[in-house]
Amino acid sequence: MRATLAALLAAAASFFPSCVPAQSWPARPVHLVVPYAAGGPVDVSARLVGARLQAALGQPVVVENKTGAGGNIAADFVAKSAPDGYTLVMGAIATHAINPALYPKFPYDPVRDFRHVALVVQVPNVLVVNNDLPVKDVRQLIAYLKENPGKLDFASGSTGSTGHLAGELFKQMTGTYMVHIPYKGSSPAVLDLLAGRVQLMFDNLASALPNIQSGRVRALAVTTPRRSAFLPELPTLDESGLKGFDMTTWWGLMAPAKTPEAVVERLSAETLKAMDDPEVKEKLRAMGSETPTVRSPAAFTAFVEKELKTYAPLVKRSGASAD
């Protein structure tokens, strides 16, 4: 009878995980799933934060790279995992804001299927142009585009990326036209920008900063509402006349929906402590990350909802599709 009762209690716990006391969590290793390849910025961030969580929680935090479908495979795997605090994902702007509009058959709800634990990284994008282009600021670029419609090409790392959608938003807000040239990653796009085969690009700050500092490209503006601490002299697109322009690359820690509140709160608190660690903060800054202004699970959820509302119509107007 005791064995039968234990089995019934275990079954009940799997159906009602939020009712299970969280005091004993974690009692075994925690798996942190990364939607992208090892060595990339999302992976590096996950390993930095994971190491601090491991020390704080007293259990191994195992980072697992599960790539494919623009990150959707990893996010879907975690969305459908047991909501017990032992399977997490480093969700990103692609998996939780852009891909829902980019993929016609989308396997999960980026809001309802997750608990949004902590925003970890926000990286500004920056508008850069080839040095041979005769423009010195955003207003001159807009004037040049209007005088030469369709004659300039802008590069991005892929169709549907933030670099692509920043260009589409720029075209929409300025009433200009330029041709989008998608690449398989930002590195070949940057090489063609330097060579003058494309004339401009909305690159992430970490990638663009060395070329800006060396003078190999000219920076015109950042895409965030606030100026970047890395380039404080560079104006925002909002300051340059494109009021409300706001586009930031981001990623953060997420858990399956119905994960116990106490577990989410502890994960959030420990993640924020990790991000405030001077060594972690410096390593995140080396990737171009600004300190996130979102500091609670509720604020992170509201942030994801806002991003979805921003990108869904933009993807639709751009005609981008993963098909």
pLDDT tens digits, one per residue of 109-141: 999 999 999 999 999 999 999 999 999 999 999
> Cα(272)–Cα(295) distance, rounded to whole angstroms?
8
Please write the tens of the pLDDT for every residue from 66-102: 999 999 999 999 999 999 999 999 999 999 999 999 9
pLDDT tens digits, one per residue of 259-294: 999 999 999 999 999 999 999 999 998 888 888 889
Q: Which of 107, 77, 105 is nearest to 90 (CA)?
A: 77
Are 246 and 238 spatial neighbours (Cβ–Cβ below 8 Å)? yes
Tell me the backbone φ, ψ of residue 309, rounded to 5 degrees.
-65, -30
**How high is the pLDDT of residue 207?**
86
Spell out the domains of the chain, with CATH numbers in brackets.
30-122+248-318 (3.40.190.150), 124-222 (3.40.190.10)
What angle is formed at CA 46 by the lines to CA 43 and CA 50, rounded to 5 degrees?
A: 140
Q: Is the pLDDT of residue 235 over 80?
A: yes
CA distances from 34 to 44, 65, 163, 218, 267 (A): 10, 5, 21, 33, 17
- Other CB atoms within a 10 A radius of the CB of residue 150 amount to 10
pLDDT at res. 23: 67
Q: Please give the structure tokens belonging to residue 11.
A: 């079954």
What is the overall mean pLDDT for the chain?
Answer: 91
The reported pTM is 0.85
Task: Please give the Cα distance from 221 to 37 (Å, whole number).
Answer: 30
Give percent above pLDDT 90 in the chain: 80
Mean pLDDT of the 291-315 span: 93
